[in-house]
Amino acid sequence: METGKYAKQAGGAVMVRYGDTSLLVTATASKEPREGVDFLPMTVDYEERLYAVGRIPGGFIKREGRPTEKATLAARLTDRPIRPLFPEGFNHSIHIVSTVLSIDQDCVPEPLAITGASAALCISNIPFRGPIAAVNVGLIDGEPVVNPTVVQGEKNRLNLMVAGTEDAIMMVEADAEEISEEEMLEAIMAGHEVIKELIQLQKDMVEHHSREKIEFQPFSPDPDVERTVKAYCQDKVAAALKTEDKLQRETALDEVKKDTRAHFAEQYPDHERDVKVTIQDVIKKSLRSMILHEQVRPDGRGWEEIRPISCEVELFRRTHGSSLFTRGQTQVINICTLGALRDMQILDGLGIEESKRFIHHYNFPPYSVGEAGFMRGPGRRDIGHGALAERALEAVIPSEEDFPYTIRLVSEVIESNGSTSMGSVCAGALSLMDAGVPIIRPVSGIAMGLIMEGEDVAVLSDIQGVEDFLGDMDFKVAGTEEGITALQMDVKIKGLSRKILQEALGRARESYLFILRKMLDAISGPRPRLSEFAPRITTIQIEPEKIRDVIGPGGRIINKIISETGAEINIEPDGRVFIVATDFKAGEKAEEIIRGLTADVEPGKLYLGKVTRTEKYGAFVEVLPGKEGLVHISHLDHQRVNKTEDVVNVGDQVTVKVLDIDDRGRINLSRKEALPPDREGGSKSQEHERGRHDQGRSSRDRDRDHKNRRHADRKHKPD
């Protein structure tokens, strides 16, 4: 890490390098606080530049536009572990910018952005209770590996991003190939050991390069006002919090807030903020005390109890797969759509991947929480939740060879009261099975929470919205019966210990397996057949050198097949041919034609062919699609044939035998040798009759016929 050379007018600026990956990370705060805000006004931008990988952007504009999905996720990764470490009530606008300047594919940039943001904040004038750092951890041959390379990634079963302080874990983000809770915990702790080294590096930097921090005095309500307001509203808040229904509870709390503010409006006319802050503090402390000491949650559940669950599939006839997953007051509809491989998403980013065939999108409309608002495309939250569910399900998606389809899932959140991302995982797995996608195993997910006051700790299963908002942890775990497929953890306190992590992981497994059993009651596994409205994709493997036989000059043959059958045909350079058709018969016909075009004609074998044209010297017969051979006039019948059309005409189907294939690939056929034995007896007299006819002809006529036959032979055979 280097500072003092770059971006000297920023509040703090650090150039972070790891291998040949380089990021410039800056942190700047506004000179004046933002009045009237009750949140931390911080924005994190992660700026990808295609020059970092030696590429020029596509399109007409030739410059980077809106952030890619990966850039949005990287910005969220930076935001999540540093946000809890600002002093409560600090309301200066903060802007953190990570600009990716160079990429070494063996050194991923995301952990550098987090570490660099922490370093920039530590040396800036912004109050920050850091430092923190982050690393990427893999699992190779059962052992955790910090910052694995691309080659190591081929054996990697885990992609884990872990961030933390010197003492505890702040954030975890992972996708995995069904690993155990113990393996996950060991990987997290292995990452934390390296995090400690990176934090020491930042401490050394701060000793030599740091600025005086902005003077900030956290707001504290007047003690007399706080005491009086608390005494007035505490019992009312406690009663309102024990309302089971979310909307009714929110209404009851709103009534308490309005009543309390109105009651003290005349008594404390100049202390409106004091009253407001005190009410919110009472709500938070009452909820936490109720859970910790009474061991009762707002909806009456115990710590380990999961809300009522219902699962439905096959909601809509025309979609390829559909499901409805309901858990308490969280409800998600998921739709599965199958497409051809050409429908893959093309990725234009800094990573190695150029496309992906499994896509999950997540939509969170305002009505899902009873609000009116604007819908202007996916926000950062939609992208983040959609990506988490996608990672959770990706581990069980069949390979392209086993299931050559592009798969798109869309989760529509129609009601929300906690963990819609894990609801999307469950709904997505149900929808995949309803569509007939042969997933390896079904996946479910759960969100765990935490309330911690000193030595008192409550780990909560299946948290709802208010427990997430006023709690200390949001810990989402998805997995199968075999192990974890995805993990995401955010905390609002200064990190978690190994003991709490271990307990949360163990309880999470029990919870998501309980949900999984409920899902399997609705559908026990993938359907044996695809929807009648889903495309049928047939895969044929041909020799790469025969691709030209299928395409034809200028695409003439492949376009003819598409026109005749209505099927879509995609050919890969390795010889894989994908036939896409909604009509089964159309796909079958296209497959038959292509197999014929690429099949080899075998000498000595009989074929039922079609006469394509006739000449004086014989007939051309198509024995396989696109493959013609010549039946010389002398091989049309056992008897002498004077005129080709006396035996066959264009369009006739005839059985022929392959005599040989010359070194120029020309096929010589015989109808005579393919005739059944009973034709031979009569043919001798016919041949004799033909001979008598020849005797009556002039020698000039006989010589002319003989010359024509020799001419045909020369045209059809090599010199």
What's the CATH number where 198 sits?
3.30.230.70
| Residue 693 pLDDT | 38
Is residue 487 in a domain?
A: yes
The number of C-alpha atoms within 13 Å of 717 and in the hemisphere containing its C-beta is 13
Q: Are residues 344 and 399 in the same domain?
A: yes
Q: Are residues 415 and 550 in the same domain?
A: no
| Phi, psi dihedrals of residue 344, rounded to the nearest 5° | -55, 150
User: Which residue carries 């060991």 as its tokens?
Assistant: 186
Is residue 1 in a domain?
A: no
Q: Are residues 289 and 379 in the same domain?
A: no
Which range has the worst mean pLDDT, 370-379, 385-394, 489-498, 539-548?
Answer: 489-498
Above 50 in pLDDT, residue 685?
Answer: no
Q: Are residues 340 and 479 in the same domain?
A: yes
Write out the two tokens for 117.
């943001």
CA distance 9 to 12: 8
Above 60 in pLDDT, residue 718?
Answer: no
Write out the two tokens for 667.
């096929």
Q: What is the mean pLDDT of the chain?
A: 90
Question: Which of residues 598, 626, 650 is at a domain's end?
Answer: 598
CA distance 249 to 243: 5
Name the band, by pLDDT with cuts 50, 70 and 90, for residue 492.
confident
Write out the two tokens for 295.
């061991």
Question: Which of residues 475, 496, 522 is at a domain's end?
Answer: 522
The mean per-residue pLDDT over the stretch 511-537 comes to 95
Q: For the segment 413-439, what is each residue's pLDDT rounded down to a tens digit?
A: 999 998 999 999 999 999 999 999 999
Above 50 in pLDDT, residue 719?
Answer: no
Above 70 in pLDDT, residue 680?
Answer: no
Write out the two tokens for 153.
């990634």
Count of all residues that appear for the chain in the document:
719
Is residue 298 in a domain?
A: no
Which has the higher per-residue pLDDT, 561 or 59?
A: 561
CA dihedral 255, 257, 261, 264 (to 10 degrees): 100
Burial 483-507 (b: 16+ CB within 10 A, else e): bbbbbbbbbeeebbeeebbbebbeb
Q: Are residues 196 and 279 in the same domain?
A: no
Q: Are residues 160 and 50 in the same domain?
A: yes
Above 80 in pLDDT, residue 712?
Answer: no
Rounded to a whole number, what is the distance in angstroms from the first to the last CA of the chain? 76
Is residue 362 in a domain?
A: yes
Q: Which positions ≥6 away from 158 have C-beta within 8 Å?
A: 137, 138, 139, 144, 174, 175, 176, 177, 179, 183, 184, 187
146 touches 196 (CB < 8 A): no
* Residue 655 belongs to domain with CATH number: 2.40.50.140
Q: Are residues 97 and 34 in the same domain?
A: yes
* Residue 570 belongs to domain with CATH number: 3.30.1370.10
Q: For the segment 324-345, what is each residue's pLDDT rounded down to a tens digit?
A: 999 999 999 999 999 988 888 8
Q: Which of 114-118, 401-405, 458-462, 541-545 has the highest mean pLDDT?
A: 114-118
* Residue 254 belongs to domain with CATH number: 1.10.10.400
Name the band, by pLDDT with cuts 50, 70 and 90, for residue 309.
very high
The mean per-residue pLDDT over the stretch 600-611 comes to 90
Above 60 in pLDDT, residue 51?
Answer: yes
Q: Are residues 586 and 678 in the same domain?
A: no
Above 60 in pLDDT, residue 692?
Answer: no
303 touches 461 (CB < 8 A): yes
Q: Are residues 289 and 317 in the same domain?
A: no
What is the chain's alpha carbon radius of gyration, rounded to the nearest angstrom?
Answer: 37
Write out the two tokens for 44.
């994190």
* Residue 467, number of CB atoms within 10 A of its CB: 25
Is residue 278 in a domain?
A: yes
Q: What is the number of helices (H) and of strands (E) in the chain?
A: 16, 27
The mean per-residue pLDDT over the stretch 521-545 comes to 92
| Residue 392 pLDDT | 97
Q: Are residues 279 and 370 in the same domain?
A: no
* Residue 643, number of CB atoms within 10 A of its CB: 10
**β 358-363/653-661 pair status:** unpaired
Q: For the segment 643-665, what is each residue's pLDDT rounded down to a tens digit?
A: 999 999 999 999 999 999 988 88
| Phi, psi dihedrals of residue 367, rounded to the nearest 5° | -65, -20
Specify the long-range contacts of residues 8-13, CB closer than 8 Å, at least 24 apart: 10/120, 10/124, 11/120, 11/124, 11/125, 11/126, 11/211, 12/119, 12/120, 12/121, 12/122, 12/123, 12/124, 12/125, 12/126, 12/211, 13/120
Is residue 272 in a domain?
A: yes
Which has the higher per-residue pLDDT, 597 or 363?
A: 363
Above 70 in pLDDT, residue 588?
Answer: yes
324 touches 311 (CB < 8 A): yes
Q: Which positions ≥6 away from 143 have C-beta within 8 Å?
A: none
| Residue 678 pLDDT | 57
User: For the chain, how many structural domains are there in total?
Assistant: 5
CA distance 519 to 385: 21
Residue range of the domain that includes 650: 606-716
Q: Are residues 319 and 288 in the same domain?
A: no
- The percentage of the chain sitting over the pLDDT mark of 90, rounded to a whole number, equals 71
The mean per-residue pLDDT over the stretch 600-614 comes to 91
Q: Are residues 684 and 556 in the same domain?
A: no
**β 653-661/606-615 pair status:** antiparallel
Is residue 217 in a domain?
A: no
| Residue 709 pLDDT | 44
Cis peptide bond N-terminal to 131, omega within 30 = yes
| Residue 218 pLDDT | 84
CA distance 400 to 443: 20
Is residue 530 in a domain?
A: no
pTM over cut 0.85: no
Bridge partner list, 656: 607
Name the band, by pLDDT with cuts 50, 70 and 90, for residue 484.
very high
Residue at 38: amino acid letter: D
Question: Which of residues 162, 182, 208 is at a domain's end?
Answer: 208
List the one residue out of 246, 245, 238 whose CA is nearest residue 294: 238
